[in-house]
């Protein structure tokens, strides 16, 4: 099957790294791994974040023009299916539904959310477009359980919604974890970190909004752990770098800057646990990467994060926004190496069995075939 792929929030080739870009690229790999030919059909970014109605109209007009151009260019060899990743009111799909209707092909969406309060807000145009796209969709792949309530009233049948656990290529973190001693020795020598300390990995972009709020909550939790031999290894960069540094301080912290995938895997291989408050986080790719490398995780609870972190088995989920409980969970793992190791092993096994790209590819392949075969 030939699949046309689009990611209106952030195309897979976008220059700025993020979880959205990473998942778009993983979905492309998973679709190909499922035995289908996949090609990025558009590189247009439909995101409009300020509520500017005039700009939203311009984006819609551009999307309509690109849809017409795509239809004209492919009228003799249309794709078999259109696949769109990540729809919400600030980044609707102005291309996919038009192309799918023109060619009478299935329209499949992965990760979509509806916010009813936006129906009369500054993004009502995008809200209505997303609602129309969901009504048109032949299948909607749900990565965050919290999205289901908003989607169920819009789909034609309940079986159109298909759950998919967040996924990565777990083989790479596992390979890195096999070289834990070398990674730990390297970081210890390079940054002067005591190898006997408990190393805590924190991996997140440094930008305003939810990420900065999570860093600030972490900064409030850290003084509660001052009596422990901990060292915090913070990987990430961005425009809020100064705000993050002020929130966390400088005591027993090493700022590693932005790391590539190999660097993140090496960090997780060397660390003892991973921590992230995950305020308003959909699920958190870094938490999944840490678990795949065998790290127990302490994170703020949400439905999406709970799909990755099994509370009490692969780590601990604490009430969202509660710095006291976050610190208590970190302390429990910091002082108990046996529990850390047991949870780390369980985390690696869970990631391998439930969150690997091979498992995701098999499910996605079935979803695409079902959409194609549906009347």
Exposed / middle / buried, residue 331 (Cβ in 10 Å: 0-12, 13-18, 19+): middle
State the Cα torsion 13-18-21-22 to the nearest 10°: 120
pLDDT at 42 over 90: yes
pLDDT of residue 323: 97
pLDDT at 251 over 80: no
pLDDT at 282 over 90: no
pLDDT band with cut points at 50, 70 and 90 for residue 115: confident
pLDDT at 278 over 90: yes
CA distance 270 to 326: 22
pLDDT at 98 over 80: yes
Instruction: Write the pLDDT tens digit of every residue in 178-191.
Output: 999 999 999 999 99
pLDDT at 114 over 90: yes
Name the residue ranges covered by the structural domains of the chain: 2-167+356-373, 171-354
Average pLDDT, the chain: 95
Contact between 8 and 94 (Cβ < 8 Å): yes
- Within a 10 A sphere around the Cβ of 83, how many other Cβ atoms? 28
- Within a 10 A sphere around the Cβ of 333, how many other Cβ atoms? 23
Indicate yes or no: pTM above 0.85: yes
pLDDT of residue 374: 81
Contact between 38 and 370 (Cβ < 8 Å): no
Query: Who has greater pLDDT, 123 or 16?
Result: 123
- Within a 10 A sphere around the Cβ of 281, how many other Cβ atoms? 23
Six-digit token string for 193: 């970190």
CA distance 266 to 253: 17
Q: Which architecture does CATH list for 171-354?
A: 3-Layer(aba) Sandwich (3.40)
pLDDT of residue 235: 97
Domains 2-167+356-373 and 171-354 alike in fold: yes
pLDDT band with cut points at 50, 70 and 90 for residue 15: confident
**DSSP element (H, E) containing 256:** strand 253-257
CA distance 269 to 271: 6
> Which CATH code of 3.40.50.300, 3.40.50.2000, 3.30.70.20, 3.40.50.2300 fits the domain covering 2-167+356-373?
3.40.50.2000
Contact between 84 and 110 (Cβ < 8 Å): yes
CA distance 245 to 17: 20
pLDDT of residue 223: 95
Instruction: Write the pLDDT tens digit of every residue in 137-183.
Output: 999 999 999 999 999 999 999 899 999 999 999 999 999 999 999 99
pLDDT of residue 249: 85
């Amino acid at each position: 099957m030939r699949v046309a792929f689009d990611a209106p929030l952030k195309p897979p080739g976008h220059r700025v790294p993020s979880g959205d870009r990473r998942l778009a690229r993983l979905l492309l790999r998973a679709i190909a791994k499922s035995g289908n030919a996949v090609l990025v059909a558009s590189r247009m970014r439909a995101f409009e974040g300020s509520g500017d109605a005039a700009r939203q109209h311009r984006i819609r007009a551009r999307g309509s023009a690109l849809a017409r151009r795509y239809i004209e260019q492919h009228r003799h060899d249309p794709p078999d299916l259109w696949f769109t990743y990540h729809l919400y009111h600030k980044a609707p799909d102005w291309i996919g539904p038009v192309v799918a209707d023109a060619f009478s092909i299935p329209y499949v969406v992965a990760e979509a959310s509806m916010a009813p309060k936006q129906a009369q807000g500054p993004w009502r145009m995008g809200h209505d477009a997303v609602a129309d796209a969901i009504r048109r969709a032949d299948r909607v792949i749900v990565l965050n359980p919290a999205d289901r309530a908003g989607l169920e009233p819009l789909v034609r049948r309940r079986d159109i919604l298909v759950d998919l656990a967040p996924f990565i290529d777990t083989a790479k973190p596992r390979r890195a974890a096999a070289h834990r001693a070398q990674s730990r020795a390297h970081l210890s020598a390079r940054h002067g970190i005591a190898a006997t300390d408990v190393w805590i990995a924190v991996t997140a972009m440094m930008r305003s909004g939810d990420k900065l709020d999570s860093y600030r909550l972490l900064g409030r939790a850290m003084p509660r752990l001052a009596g422990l031999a901990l060292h915090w290894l913070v990987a990430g960069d961005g425009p809020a770098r100064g705000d993050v540094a002020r929130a966390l301080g400088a005591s027993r912290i090493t700022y590693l800057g932005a790391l590539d995938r190999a660097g993140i895997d090496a960090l997780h291989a060397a660390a003892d646990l991973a921590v992230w408050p995950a305020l308003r986080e959909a699920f958190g790719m870094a938490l999944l990467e840490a678990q795949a490398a065998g790290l127990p995780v302490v994170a703020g609870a949400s439905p999406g994060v709970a799909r990755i972190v099994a509370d009490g088995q692969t780590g601990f989920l604490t009430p969202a926004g509660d710095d006291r409980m976050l610190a208590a969970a970190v302390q429990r793992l910091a002082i108990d190496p046996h529990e850390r190791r047991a949870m780390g092993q369980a985390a690696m096994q869970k990631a391998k069995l439930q969150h690997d790209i091979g498992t995701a590819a098999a499910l996605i392949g079935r979803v695409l075939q079902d959409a194609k075969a549906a009347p």
